[in-house]
Amino acid sequence: MTNLGVYEEKIKDFSWEISERELGYKQGDNINIGEYCTDRICRMGKKDKLALIWEGHGGDIKKYTFDDMRMLTNSIARFFKELGLKGGDRICLFMDKIPELYFGFLGILKMGGIAQPLFSAFGSESLLTRLEDAGTRAVMTQKRHLPKVRNIVKDLPGLEFIIVVDDDASKPLREKEISFSMENIEKIDQFDIFPSKAETPSVLHYTSGTTGKPKGAQHVHYSLISQYITAKYVLDLKDDDIYWCTADPGWVTGTSYGIIGPWANGITQCVLDSGFKAESWYKFAEKHKVTVWYSAPTAIRALMKEGIDVVKKHDLSSLRHLCSVGEPLNAEAVIWSEEAFGRPFHDTYWQTETGSIVISNYPDMKVKPGSMGKPFPGIEATVVDLNTHLPIERTGTVGLIALKPGWPAMFRTYWNNEEIYKSKFKNGWYICGDRASIDEDGYYWFVGRDDDVINTGGHLVGPFEIESALLEHEAVAESAVVGKPDPVNMEVVKAFIALKPGFTASKDMNLNIMNFVRKRLSPLAMPQEIEFVDSLPKTRSGKIMRRVLRAKEWGEEIGDTSTLENDEG
Ligand code: PRX
């Protein structure tokens, strides 16, 4: 029996109150995600149950019970408070997937701070943009990432504390830097948890758009109501599950379903802090007897490349439910997973902004390979016309995915950017910015993004951020960045570059520019290919027409460019 049961039945009588009731929450009560994921689970008699099984890249394993996690998150919360950090302060987590990242996140929420997780592979420039915008007061990081913070600290007068979680005193720390050891900290039994209410800000996740700087999607503690029930119904998490979410908490999947959803359900999670390698992933799933696995199409395609023989070398019979998110899950991957693991990957669709799964394939529902499934109960979804933004009645017609605002995990604004936030709503619908169609059975079929944002391996990168970084390179006169098809990562970054007079295109120049972007922004943002050109296609007013370049890469019709030349959009 699955937690959701029959989808058609569930949608009839679903209301978010079901989740509120299960969580023992009533309107007006305090609601603190940190408390719900730790103290409440302990009160339910699961003190000694394992909350986290963590494995490092060297194979070292650490295990924590819910009671360990409750006390360590208290200790971290008190540590922040004693530094003078207060409710509403933005505290950034800039770490690999180590236990301190997970417990730091909940510790921040317990003392009322706003957790701002950032992907640890970000370079200094990516970090600077996001810390500056958020007005971050403290960063929690590791020795290996400290140099990137040191590079920019002079540009961030508001950044008061840089907390180093693995300082071994081998090198002196500098001004503002503080050593912190979770291994040695006193475990605190009692902590006065911040009395957050439903609308108290909780998490700030930065996401990339087509234009301008990345935007901070602002979430609130009430998001728990969606995250708890979607983890229960879509991931089908049950008490004896061992759950593995491969996402990094630098991105929303890693917090909504790598921290909040599963732990609010009192589920044992395992985390592998190492990069992708098919063999080690299978070994990990086998060793820890993973039952529910939440991953991404790029990872699945990479596993497919390694072949079924590698799968068969391992006993993966513990796996009972597989889900995927972040990019279109191609039909072949679903079919392959049935052959390899005896069960399909279930595609789920959502965004940083939605905070929780909004369209999905459910455990009891027939999977149509290649489809994203149907709206989650309680989510009113449709596709709207590209121009009028009115719902499209006819099945099979491509439009924009649109959601009726009001579900608990929906973002409340973009930090410092109410104007762009407002622009996301049309005719009373939140417009996701993705194109899709709905078939006669109500299944959604993803078509593509409606903007120039590049989705590489499930991570969004904004062309504008990369183009801005490129312009800082001494040889670059102008550039345009687009996504180019890739068999594993779906898209990779391609840059078209016109060089300044006196500079010539060469292999060295190519590498030099690639490394320049990798170091400043991240390996994700680094162009995998650079094409040197004499000039770039522009509109009459001089705006670069990315769409023309993109269409070329995808072998699509460019259409009538005279309209594009006038297009200022
Ligand atoms: O374009 C869609 C794609 O990823 C975008 C959201 O990215 P982000 O905010 O980083 O959150 C990623 C994880 C929740 C969407 O606007 N996307 C996400 N899931 C799918 C998808 N595209 C196709 N199929 C999906 N299942």
Give the model's confidence band at 559: pLDDT under 50 very low, under 70 low, under 90 confident, else very high. Answer: low
What are the start-end ranges of the E strands in 342-393? 345-349, 359-360, 374-375, 381-384
Is the pLDDT at 515 greater than 70? The verdict is: yes
Q: How far is CA 326 from the centre of its chain?
A: 8
- CB 101, CB 70: distance < 8 Å: no
How far is the first Cα of the chain from the last one, in angstroms, to the nearest whole number? 50
pLDDT in tens, 309-354: 999 999 999 999 999 999 999 999 999 999 999 999 999 999 999 9
For the CA of 432, the closest atom of ligand 1 is 16
Is the pLDDT at 365 greater than 80? The verdict is: yes
CA 439 / ligand 1 centre spacing (Å) = 20
Q: Ligand 1: which of 358, 361, 460, 489 to mutate, judged by most atoms within 8 Å of the beta carbon? A: 460
Handedness of CA 97, 218, 83, 42 (dihedral sign): negative
Provide the 10 A C-beta neighbour count for residue 336. Answer: 21
Going by CA atoms, what residue is nearest to atom 13 of ligand 1? 326
Q: What is the mean pLDDT of residues 444-452?
A: 94
Is the pLDDT at 542 greater than 90? The verdict is: no
Give the model's confidence band at 547: pLDDT under 50 very low, under 70 low, under 90 confident, else very high. Answer: confident
Is the pLDDT at 379 greater than 70? The verdict is: yes
Q: What is the mean pLDDT of residues 489-500?
A: 95
Q: Is 437 in a helix, a strand, or coil?
A: strand
CA 351 / ligand 1 centre spacing (Å) = 5
Q: How far is CA 107 from the centre of its chain?
A: 20
Give the C-alpha separation, 358 to 323, whole Å. Answer: 14
Helix axes 66-83, 99-110, angle to 10 degrees: 60
Q: Are strands 476-486 and 490-499 parallel, antiparallel or unpaired?
A: antiparallel
Rounded to the nearest integer, the mean pLDDT of the chain is 95
CA 468 / ligand 1 centre spacing (Å) = 24
326 within ligand 1 shell (Cβ under 6 A):
yes
Q: Give 180's contacts (C-beta < 8 A, 6+ positions apart).
A: 79, 140, 163, 164, 165, 167
Query: The tokens 């998110």 sit on which residue?
Result: 325
DSSP string covering 14-55:
--HHHHHHHHT--TTS---HHHHHTHHHIIIIITTSEEEEEE
Give the model's confidence band at 148: pLDDT under 50 very low, under 70 low, under 90 confident, else very high. Answer: very high
For a pLDDT cut of 90, what percent of the chain falls above it?
92
Does the pTM exceed 0.75?
yes
pLDDT in tens, 29-85: 999 999 999 999 999 999 999 999 999 999 999 999 999 999 999 999 999 999 999
pLDDT of residue 569: 36
Tokens of 391: 């719902």
Q: What is the mean pLDDT of residues 528-539?
A: 93
Of residues 560 and 195, more confidence is placed in: 195
Look at residues 451, 462, 460, 485 and name the one whose alpha carbon lies nearest to residue 330: 485
Q: What is the mean pLDDT of residues 190-212?
A: 94
CA 444 / ligand 1 centre spacing (Å) = 14
Is the pLDDT at 394 greater than 60? The verdict is: yes
pLDDT of residue 235: 98
pLDDT of residue 568: 40
Is the pLDDT at 565 greater than 60? The verdict is: no
Q: Name the amino acid, one letter, at 366.
A: K
CA 298 / ligand 1 centre spacing (Å) = 12
pLDDT of residue 560: 59
Q: Ligand 1: which of 227, 350, 356, 371 to mutate, judged by most atoms within 8 Å of the beta carbon? A: 350
28: left (phi over 0), alpha (psi -120 to 50) or beta: left
All domains of the chain, ordered by start, with CATH? 7-436 (3.40.50.12780), 454-554 (3.30.300.30)
Is the pLDDT at 266 greater than 50? The verdict is: yes
Q: Give 504's contacts (C-beta < 8 A, 6+ positions apart).
A: none
CA 449 / ligand 1 centre spacing (Å) = 9
Q: For residue 461, which phi and psi values (nearest 5 degrees)?
A: -125, 140
455 within ligand 1 shell (Cβ under 6 A):
yes
Of residues 213 and 84, more confidence is placed in: 84
- CB 191, CB 110: distance < 8 Å: yes
